[in-house]
Amino acid sequence: MYYIGIDLGTSAVKLLLMNEMGGIEAVVSKEYPLFFPEPGWSEQNPEDWYSQSMEGLKELTSGIDKSQIGGISFGGQMHGLVVLDKEDKVIRPAILWNDGRTYKECDYLNNEIGKDKLSTYTANIAFTGFTAPKLLWMKANEPEKFARIEKIMLPKDYLAYKLTGVHCTDVSDASGMLLFDVKNRCWSKEMCEICGVSMDQLADIYESYESVGELLPEVAEELGFPKTVKVAAGAGDNAAAAVGTGTVGDGNCNISLGTSGTVFIASKSFGVDKFNALHSFAHADGSYHLMGCMLSAASCNKWWMEDILQTKAFSKEQQDIETLGENHVFFLPYLMGERSPHNDPDARGTFIGMSMDTKRSDMTQAVLEGVAFALRDSLEVAKSLGIQIERTKICGGGAKSPLWKKIIANVLNIKVDVIESEEGPALGGAMLAAVACGEFKNVEEAAQKIVKVVDTIEPEPELAAKYEKKYQVFKEIYPQCKSIFKLLSVSNR
């Protein structure tokens, strides 16, 4: 049998075909546009996701016996607001996870409703990327469109709806909406009342590995798939990546170096960071996880390489980096504001420490190190909770860089395990589909049988000590710049 994982990313959808043994048969990627209608805004058209996913499914399965396709599932960009009218038509472009327009709504939720109440209702506080503040923004700024809302969905769930006709979501993705009671794995009545939405406007909730239905007859016919293909609910991209890297069970860690960057810690038990610097979400394996999320990770390097240096030769630029742990240039990787642990939509990317002898390679190195230092910020919060992480898996586009992996291992001073496949969310989606179809009895069994560690980068004591000193400097830069970021933001509004 074959199982398909669909990773609905910010710049492209990646589709992966997996056999019943966990082997990857094919991978296809299809891009779509990203729109920035105003500074700090980020939108996409859900129809683009579906059309490109359908094209990708056709290409992915063009050379196989399609009668052997058993199931489809997803990993998807989280938090995006997709709103449908009574005819299930998209009302407006989706407002994405990295959109910062909701700073007023977040201030209202965190300071007037109160962080303690939010944490009690949902286990989290308001961040500009979350879905609930976007609904309040629509209510205030687009009241006529807000009044037309019949269904509120997340990006990957729109794909599931188009494939099955079912309005559904899963517990991991719903956790990032600020409408979901994470501890009890159900919608929060209190948050719905605060946001002025009804429970009927929300999708049905499933565990990530549960089937939500089968393909619609017309979809199956267009694709040439059996009508019996099951569609599993899937997971938010980070939870799906955790499944794809085997980060399930208790105490395991995964770092994702995608457009955003995350430190993901799986846990069998529910828990909340008292300062809400880390997100407390439901996990795709049926348990829970803590997660620190930075809004710009590999995207910082992409911006530096393609937009500033005007090159796509990423590895060539890194070849000139010779000495680690001694760079005098620092970079704050807050190009889209920052979430964990600062929760500051006004934060911006910042180079500091340049001098007349600063080289191009020093700046490139600072970008890679800045992302690693920011990931460590989240790891430090986990340590403050008594969680000791000695090793982590790693995935995402940035994980293809041996240099970046070495920097991360030494900045965080932990072992970094490299797995056989770097296809995190897409592989995780295929694994969830296989569980839904009964190929494996649960997610943990699937991870044990499929995920294989092929290399480990060990921290070097001398280099880790150098980076320890550099990190102590890095963590002082943001507090000193915070008031300047605020001034810049006010002057731009």
pTM given for the model = 0.90
Does residue 168 sit in the same domain as residue 138? yes
- The per-residue pLDDT for 236 is 97
Does residue 72 sit in the same domain as residue 28? yes
What amino acid positions are annotated as catalytic residues? 237
- The per-residue pLDDT for 385 is 86
Angle at 82 between CA 209 and CA 295, to 5 degrees: 80
- Residue 423 tokens read as 């296809």
Does residue 231 sit in the same domain as residue 301? no
Q: pLDDT of 130-153, one tens digit each? A: 999 999 999 999 999 999 999 999
Q: Which residues lie below 8 Å from residue 213, measured CB to CB, with a gap of 6+? A: 164, 165, 166, 168, 230, 231
- Residue 276 tokens read as 């809400």
Q: Which amino acid is at 153?
A: M
Final residue in a domain of this structure, among 399, 415, 435: 435
Question: Which DSSP helix (H) or strand (E) runs through 73?
Answer: strand 69-76
Q: pLDDT of 449-483, one tens digit each? A: 999 999 999 999 999 999 999 999 999 999 999 99
- Residue 406 tokens read as 């070495």
Count of other CB atoms within 10 angstroms of residue 313? 10
| Measured distance CA(153)–CA(199) in Å, rounded | 12
DSSP assignment of 78-99 equals -S-BEEE-TTS-B-SPEEPTT-
Query: Is the distance from CB of 27 to CB of 421 less than 8 angstroms?
Result: no
Final residue in a domain of this structure, among 414, 435, 456: 435
Does residue 140 sit in the same domain as residue 270? no
Q: Is 443 helix (H, G, I), strand (E, B) or coil?
A: helix
Q: Which residues lie below 8 Å from residue 358, measured CB to CB, with a gap of 6+? A: 328, 329
Domain CATH code at residue 357: 3.30.420.40
**Residue set of the binding site:** 78-79
Cα separation values, 79 from 99, 340, 341, Å: 10, 15, 18
Does residue 282 sit in the same domain as residue 229? no
Identify the band that residue 493 occupies on the pLDDT scale cut at 50, 70 and 90. Answer: low
Does residue 403 sit in the same domain as residue 465? yes
- The per-residue pLDDT for 127 is 92
Over residues 342-358, the mean pLDDT reads 95
Q: Which residues lie below 8 Å from residue 194, measured CB to CB, with a gap of 6+? A: 109, 113, 132
- The per-residue pLDDT for 211 is 98
> Which range (70-74, 193-197, 257-261) has the least confidence?
257-261
Say what percent of the chain tops pLDDT 90: 90
Q: Which domain holds residue 333?
A: 247-423+436-492
Split into its structural domains, the chain has a count of 2
> Is residue 297 predicted with pLDDT exceeding 80?
yes
401 phi and psi, to 5 degrees?
Answer: -90, 115
Identify the band that residue 27 occupies on the pLDDT scale cut at 50, 70 and 90. Answer: very high
Over residues 217-224, the mean pLDDT reads 98
Helix, strand, coil percentages in the chain from 3-state DSSP, rounded to 5: 40, 25, 35
User: Is the peptide bond preceding residue 402 cis, with omega within 30 degrees of 0?
Assistant: no
> Is residue 315 predicted with pLDDT exceeding 70?
yes
Query: What length does the chain have?
Result: 493
Average pLDDT, the chain: 95
The backbone region for 207, taken as left when phi is positive above 0, alpha when psi lies in -120 to 50, beta otherwise, is: beta
Does residue 333 sit in the same domain as residue 224? no
**Residue set of the binding site for substrate:** 78-79
Q: pLDDT of 237-249, one tens digit each? A: 999 999 999 999 8
- The per-residue pLDDT for 227 is 95
Q: pLDDT of 38-69, one tens digit each? A: 988 999 999 999 999 999 999 999 999 999 99
> Is residue 424 predicted with pLDDT exceeding 90?
no
Say what percent of the chain tops pLDDT 70: 99
- Residue 293 tokens read as 């999320």
Identify the band that residue 258 occupies on the pLDDT scale cut at 50, 70 and 90. Answer: confident
Query: Is the distance from CB of 218 to CB of 195 less than 8 angstroms?
Result: no
Does residue 378 sit in the same domain as residue 411? yes
- The per-residue pLDDT for 311 is 96
> Is residue 269 predicted with pLDDT exceeding 70?
yes
DSSP assignment of 288-312 equals EEEEEEES-SHHHHHIIIIIIS---
Query: Is the distance from CB of 375 to CB of 294 less than 8 angstroms?
Result: yes
Identify the band that residue 485 occupies on the pLDDT scale cut at 50, 70 and 90. Answer: very high
Distance in angstroms between the alpha carbons of the first and the last residue of the chain: 55
Does residue 163 sit in the same domain as residue 291? no
Does residue 185 sit in the same domain as residue 320? no
Does residue 82 sit in the same domain as residue 189? yes
Final residue in a domain of this structure, among 435, 461, 483: 435
Does residue 175 sit in the same domain as residue 43? yes
